[in-house]
Structure 1
Amino acid sequence: MMCGLQGSGKTTHAAKLAKLLKKEGHRPLLAACDIYRPAAINQLQVVGAKADVKVFEMGQTDPVEIAKKALAYAKDYGHDILIIDTAGRLHIDEALMDELVNIKAETHPDEIMLVVDAMTGQDAVNVAKAFDDAVGITGVLMSKLDSDTRGGAALSVLSVTGKPIKFVGMGEKLDDFEQFHPERMASRILGMGDVLTLIEKAENVMSQKDAEKLTKKFKENKFDMDDLLDQMKQIKRMGSMKSILGMLPGVGDKIKDADIDDSQLNRIEAMITSMTKAERAKPSIINPSRKKRIANGSGTKVEEVNRLLKQFDQMQKMMKQFTGKSGKMSLRKARKNLAGMNFDKLTGKGGGNLPF
């Protein structure tokens, strides 16, 4: 049973949880029990469709009856997990709590997950305590941790309720969702990044076979613009650039107020797709007239094409240094190169505006 205040992201995160469970081999069913908020049922149907999970709804009838019928439907049609999206309010009131208590009494949920907006800060503690006292929550899901907040409220929620934080929402996309790891959250709060989660995100979008193939291309100096385009598409699937960079040690504080424009990736994609097959395979053949054609075809400027080609060349040189003669990554060289990178280029404060 998912519960929480209106605006906490409860409906979206019900679908995120459903998608995660489906990926793990379950057959979840979503139940639309929020009959008060305009378009709440439709919203659940939309996000449910994106997660490829069925949504049970009976329109704007009694929420307790909907939950009861949804449970029966799940049992009859082989759904092993039922996720009930309950109604929220702009504030805690008696009517809301009574409804939740009644749904709980009829369905006997194994988990009562409270969705808490991390941006509310310490107010999240009051919300968690009120729901726990009235309904008896079993766990907490913190949403909007991709915002400027670092999630310090997570510590207070656990301290006051004694209930564990089980999942965290890291963005608007359905894949921006992960299990809660205390040590990683502590690392983020301290501004030390979260490399383990970054690695997991990378593993989710790239198989071991693809990684080995890419390594071989770097080793043989065969990495071309098509490969770069493919890597950018995978980066997009990992989340926003700001969230990815925020997981790197020492970078979180630097990008807190930075304006990192994800549309830069789209501009680069447009430039690469405006190149011919031969130009993508061997960018060195791109002369001034070709640059002008690429710029016109992608709606960009020649200066931007020049910058992309220069950065691609620098990237190839860096990878050569990383792999070395043996083809293996040199940790010493990697550290030296990373330490020498100008972070301002990532945010546009310096001269480069590196978009990848």
Structure 2
Amino acid sequence: VLMMCGLQGNGKTTHAAKLGRYYRSQGRRPLLVACDVYRPAAIEQLKIVGEQVNVPVFTMGTEKPELIAEKAMAYARDHGNDIVILDTAGRLQIDDALMDELVRIKQHVEVDETLLVVDAMSGQEAVNVAKTFNEKIGITGVILTKTDGDTRGGAALSVLAVTGKPIYFQGTGEKLEDLEPFYPARMSSRILGMGDVLSLIEKAQSVQSDKEAEDAAKRLMENKFDMNDLLAQFKQIKKMGGASALLAMMPGGNQIDADALDEKALPHIEAIIYSMTPEERAKPSIINPKRKRRIAAGCGLTVEDVNKLLKQYDMMQKMMKKVKRNPKGFMRSLGNLGGMGGFKGFGR
């Protein structure tokens, strides 16, 4: 039994669903329980995210939260659910009524883990919240949210220092799959600006098989990389959280201007490539002015946009030739690509 707690707006409901998805992927049978009976649409929100991750949701309307939790336990036993996740109410600020309610739930239900959901970007406030919740109800662990933001995660150190409780998970984005176990060594690397290569590798492995990655790398190094490969790589980048998320995990990535990698440009680039014929994708060098006009008309963009993509494609090929000769210069080359406009300005 896992009880989620924390202030309103820190992502308890969303992360309850993320946890449900995480455990379901491990072959478990989680049950989400709607114990937030105050916030407008909280129950409906839990139902929606529960459906999205294919995890059942137990509700009893606006009954007392402790009674809902008690009935949910009986339901879980009858239906074979082996993990119960209680989504409790939050407040805009800590008050006695909130704490008393959480204590009553723990009196009615034997809770195994009391998980405090903390916003990594709230700084010192996160420390105060963690300290108070731990003193009042006794937390056993922490889920750190919004670790994909501008902060490097210093709040993680402070929360651990004042509570002595481990951080179990971290939320790395808004999507329901953006949850991963917390690894202290990786967070310390991020805090020091050294990137997080292990997480980058795990994300890559989750969206692409070893053989696919090997084939793509081989084509890239042999200069056989065409528009089909470029399209495939953009799809992988989107699945892995976008270019800015990957940049944050790369060693030296903090030295590159993330604004130079325009996330909004990717759909436009995909549209241009989809507008090409199979022959043009495989051999972009055959694209003459007449073909450019047809491609631009087909995707609703301009010939200038098509020219930008072809120019960037040529730059990538030249960059890979340099990488083959000087692997250590890869990050510098990537930075130069961003500085020259990267994939900015498509469709504007």
Unaligned runs of 5+ in 2: none
Report deviation, 1:224.
Answer: 2.3
Find the counterpart in structure 2 of residue 267 from structure 1. 268
Distance 1:187 1:56, change over 3 A: same
CA distance in 2, matches of 1:301, 1:190: 43
TM-score by length of 2: 0.92
Q: Verify the 8 A CA contact 2:261 2:342 in the aligned structure 1.
A: no
AA aligned to 1:116 is V
Query: 1:84-125 CA deviation, whole Å, 9 max, x = no partner?
Result: 111000011111111111111222111110000111101111
Task: Indicate the larger mover: 50-59 or 78-87.
Answer: 50-59
Flag structure 1 segments of 5+ consecutive residues without an equivalent: 323-329
Partner of 2:300: 299
**d(CA) in 2 for partners of 1:76, 1:228:** 51
Residues 207 and 278 (structure 1), Cα distance of their counterparts in 2 relative to 1, 3 Å cut: same
Work out the CA distance in 2 between the residues paired with 1:216 and 1:253.
28
Q: Find 2:177's aligned residue among 175, 178, 196.
A: 175
Q: How many residues align?
A: 342
Question: What is aligned with 1:279?
Answer: 280
CA distance in 1 between counterparts of 2:261 and 2:316 reads 20
Q: CA offsets, 1:215-264, max 9 Å, x none?
A: 343355443222221221111011132121111112225447x4753111
SS of equivalent residue, structure 1 residue 112: strand
Rounded to whole Å, the distance in 1 between the matches of 2:250 and 2:341 is 20
328, 334, 345: which one aligns with 1:335: 328
The aligned counterpart of 2:73 is 71
**1:325 aligned partner:** none
Which aligned pairs between 1:49-60 and structure 2 lie closer than 5 A? 49-60=51-62
RMSD, aligned CA: 1.9
Query: Which one of 159, 163, 166 corresponds to residue 164 of structure 1?
Result: 166
TM-score by length of structure 1 reads 0.90
Deviation beyond 6 Å, 4+ runs, structure 1: none
* In structure 2, C-alpha distance between the alignment counterparts of 1:217 and 1:78, rounded to whole Å: 49
Q: Could you tell me how far apart the structure 1 residues matched to 2:321 and 2:34 are?
A: 54
Whether contact under 8 Å (2:140, 2:166) holds in the other structure is yes
Which residue matches 2:211? 209
Distance 1:22-1:11 versus aligned 2 partners, 3 A rule: same
- Which of 127, 143, 150 pairs up with 2:129? 127
C-alpha distance after superposition, 1:120-152 (max 9, x if no partner): 101111100111111110001111111211111
Aligned mates of 1:272, 1:316 — CA distance in 2: 17
Residue of structure 1 equivalent to 2:82: 80
Look up the equivalent residue of 2:45 and give its one-letter code: Q
1:353 to 333, 342, 346: 342
3-state SS in 1 of match to 2:113 = coil
